[in-house]
């Protein structure tokens, strides 16, 4: 059975929220690709739509949008997802994972793209004010 850690970003506030999903909620992500939009009810955002923006497998290999399927592939990269060069012109061979989500993925990155309600994402996830009260 699939289990994922889903990191949801709210672009309006710049905050991120982590949710563990398993069972039926995790099955909603299987077979989807990076760039797909799905309903946010799998992570507790029933009035929002989220876009899948990235992820990584259990060994930390990043997903890349330009690699099809779920396969592993070695790419010679000059920069971008999976490699940050330390000097100009540096290239490196990096193993990356394809853009389709399967059981081997451990973390999925998503971004809120549409909210049907006027509510705040933090409030919808049950966070925000509770954190502020604990700091006082």
Residue 4 in tokens: 């994922």
104 near 97, Cβ under 8 Å?
yes
Please tell me the predicted confidence (pLDDT) of residue 135: 47
DSSP 55-90: EEETT-PBB-TTS-SS-EEEEEESSSTT---SSTT-
* pLDDT cut 70: percent of the chain above it: 90
36 by Cβ neighbours in 10 Å (0-12 / 13-18 / 19+) ranks as middle
Query: In this predicted model, what pLDDT tens digit does every residue of 35-90 receive, in sequence order?
Result: 999 988 888 888 889 999 999 999 999 999 999 999 999 999 998 888 899 999 99
Residues facing 87 on adjacent strands: none
* Dihedral sign from CA coordinates of 113, 42, 3, 123: positive
Whether residue 122 is predicted with pLDDT greater than 80 in this model: the reply is no
Please tell me the predicted confidence (pLDDT) of residue 136: 45
* Dihedral sign from CA coordinates of 112, 72, 106, 79: negative
* pLDDT cut 90: percent of the chain above it: 54
Q: How confident is the model at residue 116 (pLDDT cuts 50, 70, 90)?
A: low
Nearest to 42 by CA among 17, 16, 21, 56: 21
Whether residue 106 is predicted with pLDDT greater than 70 in this model: the reply is yes
pTM: 0.83
Q: How confident is the model at residue 131 (pLDDT cuts 50, 70, 90)?
A: very low
Q: How long, in residues, is the chain?
A: 136
Rounded CA separation 129/2 (Å): 32
Please tell me the predicted confidence (pLDDT) of residue 81: 86
């Amino acid at each position: 059975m699939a289990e994922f850690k889903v990191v949801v970003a709210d672009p309006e506030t710049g905050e991120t929220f982590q949710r563990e999903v398993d069972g039926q909620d995790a099955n909603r992500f299987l077979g989807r690709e990076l760039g797909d939009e799905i309903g946010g009810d799998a992570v507790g955002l029933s009035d929002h739509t989220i876009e899948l923006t990235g992820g990584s497998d259990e060994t930390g290999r990043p997903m890349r949008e330009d690699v099809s399927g779920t396969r592993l592939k070695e790419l010679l990269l000059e920069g971008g997802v999976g490699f940050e060069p330390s000097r100009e012109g540096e290239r490196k061979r990096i193993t990356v994972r394809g853009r389709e989500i399967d059981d081997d993925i451990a973390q999925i990155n998503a971004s809120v793209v549409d909210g049907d309600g006027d509510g705040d994402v933090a409030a919808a996830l049950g966070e925000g004010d509770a954190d502020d009260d604990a700091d006082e």
